[in-house]
Structure 1
């Protein structure tokens, strides 16, 4: 047993540091000899010979290669395009099992240029002041005309368009922050701005358009002369884009150019029929980006009969194009609706990129989607988190029950801490992804993480905020600042890939192939029947697994506490626990793929949990990066700790779920011993830490200000959000005087029947000063303004503007 123990110890140490295979075998061999057993020493010797000698490898590698080709699941063309889309960035480090945190720390901090900051402080602020959610959603059911005109005139629709075409050419970071700030004021306006700057004609044209298409459309889109939409989703084909029924047949025909009025006879084109739904801006669009399956049955373009998914630009006033009907999205009034057309003839030159890009539409879409999903919906989620954090933190300090601010009750501070931590996680995660985008990356796997985890955190955050506000946000009306976002939650959850699909199939399903150090290369070698390349990569993969076994066990045994962190101080424990979980995840990934093979593709619950592990590792790393970026402020320590600890705990819960449900039970038991040898070592954030987070937020000072720095904050006390800051300040200023008054009441020195009458009585009896009276009176007036909800006439049409004057007590 001594020989076995020394063999495993020395071999394990070498494997932990990812020494070369022959060094690992030699270390194990020496350990066995030191232990006095020649027989045990034969085991690493034989393993070394089998794994390291080329002659021996050549005896069994053809069999391994053949088996691998058999178990490798086939991929559809759309799956292949999705796998190839985007780039591998920080997600590759997380899949490596040994992240290089120095890379993380060396990534540049996202920053706004002076021009971008001026735009946010100027036009964005002006636009927000024009917007009233209640008026837009319930009265106008559209943005006011002045807002539409302002958006067009100031280039909001051309933020991503290059300056040479008249656009603003903002960074991805600036684009996201513009959307975030608008969304903190009005979701409908944010969607109106974000869609033309996300997946749509502008984005596709800049990447794939012909020079003629760029020169004609981009200046018009930048100035708002054209309003774009993109029509992909069909009633019978939502997430399954490859199954869209919309089709076009190559033929000859005639058409009138809708821009010039010139008639063109007998030209080569496509006759397209489509029915699309849920298309944002479709009811008011002037140019329609259209995705359809293209066929060439007569071989007019070549030998290929089924060309594939193709994207074209079609002016909406072209003959046969139908728009003008609206859907009514939940909690919003942004323009969204159907478009349809039957046998509409379009020339080949309207295909985005020209005829050379016919059939490449899905590839174009998934490449652009990997960028757009990092920006639009995550930015809306961050905005909802900011509004929830700001309003709930101040409200929890202003509102009192039983003589205490409601935020002092543990049940409330527990929910408030979750709100703050989720918001911190959401913005940190998006900011890290935006850093990647702005240095030229297209992190498709990370974009899927953001889409799912930010929108889910938005849902949880709004639920907690509504719970704390209670009746204050149950009643609809102009004073309710949470219900529009709450009602709009289903939009974010379902669009750009429904959350169930994104979690179950995309994050790990794409990441396990795209971001894994070896799997994609092995699959490509198998596809190309390249045995030599497979042999090289497979050997590296085996070494990877062996070293991860050693790393996973040792780091699991110590919970990473003896591993290295890139920095000392308050963040170090979280880096060390990430070391442990990254090694665990790398081992689980390989063992799940090994034991399940191609069937893992259909084990969506396991895939979802594996995705949760890596996503929470990403979130934790983003949290630590953000804390460092902000200068490690003392006021943010508790928030950072809560956000990081929660992400690590969530990753551990997901890992436990994988082990409980892995079909191969003996393998699951072995993996539990290797990954969780001491059980659930990572704990959820403590109650004490949550209280620290809530208390810091309720101060309304620097920590909350940093967390909500891109939120629009009205300055008028007549605004339901604008009144919160002065009310918060007044309540704190009057706290001592209120405490004094309550003591007088407990001592039966005041006999008047109502709070305001007792206040006046205290002043008349000189039990409080005039200054104390004024402080209390002002605070109570502002508090009432914060608490009150709207009431309406019997037809629920006219709300009462003078409800604050109706003060009986």
Structure 2
């Protein structure tokens, strides 16, 4: 019994040493001291059969030569055979961009001092003025039904307004005539436009995300910047970027388009240049672009770039006027919304080598350029569209749920409806929180993993909440027409989930695939040592990395064990954590540690095979992403008014995030091929089972009620959108009717109650209201107000009906490529 107790004490000492991350030498000395001290009460610990193995283990760990030969060398040899090689394309992708808070969450021990130092972004005076004036005016000019079903394009005055007011130059520095807006300001501009028109938002979005402007700013030569940026900022030049093609979508590295270095004639002179052949598809703004950014694979068979030994340079980017001989644009695809999108093709197009973005020195560096610049589209533009959908959905569904009645009850009061409307409320809140957090991260760098998370989860949340909105709106949301407030956002869902990397591949390949390499403190460096050409040097570099990695993993295992047994209730939290947030921060500590240990276990057992186990890696990516969203929600919640509406929305959103993270981890353990390690990690992580459940019915009912009320959350989310008060506009009709209902609600409820009890006389509503006034149920002054509201209410519930002529539209024939001729 004594030996058993001392063994437990020694395990506790070992756990404490790992928990507090004591160095190897100090920890070895302390553990040896504890062993010898405990030998006083358990003399068996001093027996040579136990003492000699202890000395051997400590010597091997602490004597570099022994450790190298007995541990590091065999492990290095084994891993060198099992680890996959990293291609140049993968290496460039991994090295592109930066990391931010997502790395803290992945590493299992979040730095709360860093988190406390993160302040949510705000707008400058110029940015706020632009949103309040130019963006507001633009939104007032937009009629998405007319754009979508009649013009199939933006009206020409809108195009001109976008050019004249600098909407295409938001990211371009002021010295070139641009507005030089922050990532947060760009997001705010795009989401406000998107709350009015997806077509206009996409049109304004593209020049300010992945495109020539951003590439020129970061990599262009001075001459290229001076030539192109002023025109782009002024809208005189309209850009597009040709990346994807028939056989290269999300796998942009597989582009078949080729540029061959050769000599040719340009401006009457023989120059070194490139002969290009390319066929691009799905290129937004291509039909109207004046300048085309182009990605292609560069070959130099004759060594004209100066290096005879190098013929294959890889992906390269160039900038070409759309009017250049051989370039063909103008045809359009039809992605379900009428923004300009189409093919760009070129056959035997000759351009000077100086047209490579950044000049000849940037030949072959296009993939890294693209990976870094994709952050804007993934982290700003597409999440902005999703956030706008969430906020418009919140206000419109909330208003409709209160206006629409069935069985003499507001439809928003039915619990089945509340299950959907509560989800809409929480997702809209989450989207805005994520937008604030991610754009703050983009101010500090280009966190490629976080922007992939933002793009995937924002557009998936958009999918969920719009589908819920369609369910609640029913026939009112299904029937197309200028009155419909849901159908056009619904049609935009496939666009958002497909562009800038298809969501399926973003989730299954990118988030954890990049995250494990970029966020893990040792993995990428270890992999480089394992693939080093000089294996002797690789082993020298591998030894300290491997043992630091081992210590890191064991420290996280110790933290996971302690937090699992204590519920993480004694773990550190930010100094400014309040009563609401404290417990959630402790859960972040716990789940971050669990993610760290689970990821390390998967990487250790599956190695390079984890890359092909997409179902497993996607679940780890889901857990990581939900922890990032929980961090964003807590930061956003702290910045909002302190009231129950704010708390309830944050509570639901946080519960949802942690529940999804937990279920992703449980599914990972259930499907992990090595059953014993999976069971052990799961048991240590969740010793008493699941720790958080999906939002309960009480919280669902509360949020289902709140979405229909004029709360602080409704006003906050609405402040980021364009709010129409035109009673003839689809959303304006809802808004004005809802506001009228709030004005007359007491009298309206009194009338409805009396009507349902049969207390009122008369057939018409005018007669019944007169009866209610005569009985003192309502005031005389309420009669006309209620009649006005009832007329607005009825008009608000009507759907459009068209004459037969509306449907008699000619269809364009298709050419032999399956595109509209």
TM-score, structure 1 as length reference: 0.94
Deviations 1:79-127 (A, max 9, x none): 1111111011111111110001221121132010000000000000000
**What is the match of residue 119 of structure 2?**
108
**What is the match of residue 203 of structure 1?**
214
Deviations 1:286-319 (A, max 9, x none): 0000111111122222321112111111111111
Instruction: Give the superposition deviation at 1:42.
Output: 6.9
**What is the match of residue 240 of structure 2?**
229
Matched, 1:421 2:426: yes
SS of residue matched to 2:207: coil
Out of 661, 666, 674, the position equivalent to 1:656 is: 666
SS of residue matched to 1:312: strand
Matched, 1:736 2:742: no
C-alpha distance in 2 between matches for 1:696 and 1:445:
34
Deviations 1:692-726 (A, max 9, x none): 22322321232111123210001222222123333
Contact 1:4 1:35 in 2 (8 A): no
Cα 1:56–1:319 change in 2 (3 A) is same
SS of residue matched to 2:804: coil
Deviations 1:335-373 (A, max 9, x none): 000011111111111111111111111111011113331
C-alpha distance in 2 between matches for 1:109 and 1:766:
52
**What is the match of residue 23 of structure 2?**
20
Instruction: Give the superposition deviation at 1:522.
Output: 1.1
Matched, 1:693 2:703: yes
Deviations 1:373-404 (A, max 9, x none): 11111111111111111111122122222222
Contact 1:553 1:673 in 2 (8 A): no
| Total equivalences in the alignment | 790
C-alpha distance in 1 between matches for 2:542 and 2:737:
68
**What is the match of residue 171 of structure 1?**
182
Structure 1: gaps of 5 or more residues: 256-262, 799-809
**What is the match of residue 377 of structure 2?**
372
Out of 291, 299, 316, the position equivalent to 2:303 is: 299
**What is the match of residue 607 of structure 1?**
617
Cα 1:649–1:42 change in 2 (3 A) is farther
**What is the match of residue 544 of structure 2?**
536
Structure 2: gaps of 5 or more residues: 809-821
SS of residue matched to 1:19: coil
Cα 1:286–1:559 change in 2 (3 A) is same
Out of 776, 781, 795, the position equivalent to 2:786 is: 776
C-alpha distance in 2 between matches for 1:86 and 1:11:
38
**What is the match of residue 158 of structure 1?**
169
Out of 98, 102, 127, the position equivalent to 2:109 is: 98
Out of 564, 578, 581, the position equivalent to 2:572 is: 564
Deviations 1:585-617 (A, max 9, x none): 100111100000111110000000000011111
Contact 1:250 1:271 in 2 (8 A): yes
Contact 1:25 1:44 in 2 (8 A): no
Matched, 1:383 2:388: yes
Cα 1:635–1:767 change in 2 (3 A) is closer
**What is the match of residue 554 of structure 1?**
562
Contact 1:181 1:383 in 2 (8 A): yes
Of 60-69 and 445-454, more deviation after overlay is shown by: 60-69
SS of residue matched to 1:784: helix
Of 627-636 and 645-654, more deviation after overlay is shown by: 627-636
Equivalent residue runs for 1:290-689 within 5 Å:
290-301=294-305, 302-303=307-308, 304-330=310-336, 332-439=337-444, 441-528=445-532, 529=535, 530-566=538-574, 567-630=577-640, 632-689=642-699
Cα 1:432–1:743 change in 2 (3 A) is closer
**What is the match of residue 726 of structure 1?**
736
Deviations 1:736-763 (A, max 9, x none): 3334334443443445456565345545
SS of residue matched to 1:496: coil
Of 355-364 and 63-72, more deviation after overlay is shown by: 63-72
C-alpha distance in 1 between matches for 2:493 and 2:53:
58
Instruction: Give the superposition deviation at 1:24.
Output: 4.5
RMSD (CA atoms): 2.0
C-alpha distance in 1 between matches for 2:421 and 2:106:
33
Of 317-326 and 554-563, more deviation after overlay is shown by: 554-563
Cα 1:46–1:433 change in 2 (3 A) is farther
**What is the match of residue 727 of structure 2?**
717
C-alpha distance in 1 between matches for 2:106 and 2:52:
33
Cα 1:760–1:80 change in 2 (3 A) is same
Instruction: Give the superposition deviation at 1:485.
Output: 1.2
C-alpha distance in 2 between matches for 1:4 and 1:497:
53
Of 16-25 and 495-504, more deviation after overlay is shown by: 16-25
Instruction: Give the superposition deviation at 1:766.
Output: 7.5
**What is the match of residue 259 of structure 1?**
none
Contact 2:438 2:451 in 1 (8 A): yes
**What is the match of residue 135 of structure 2?**
124
C-alpha distance in 2 between matches for 1:306 and 1:235:
23
Out of 185, 197, 208, the position equivalent to 1:186 is: 197
Instruction: Give the superposition deviation at 1:21.
Output: 3.2
Instruction: Give the superposition deviation at 1:168.
Output: 0.6
TM-score, structure 2 as length reference: 0.93
SS of residue matched to 2:260: strand
C-alpha distance in 1 between matches for 2:652 and 2:590:
19
**What is the match of residue 286 of structure 2?**
282
Of 383-392 and 773-782, more deviation after overlay is shown by: 773-782
Contact 1:28 1:44 in 2 (8 A): no
Cα 1:296–1:775 change in 2 (3 A) is same
C-alpha distance in 1 between matches for 2:203 and 2:682:
49
C-alpha distance in 2 between matches for 1:42 and 1:28:
15
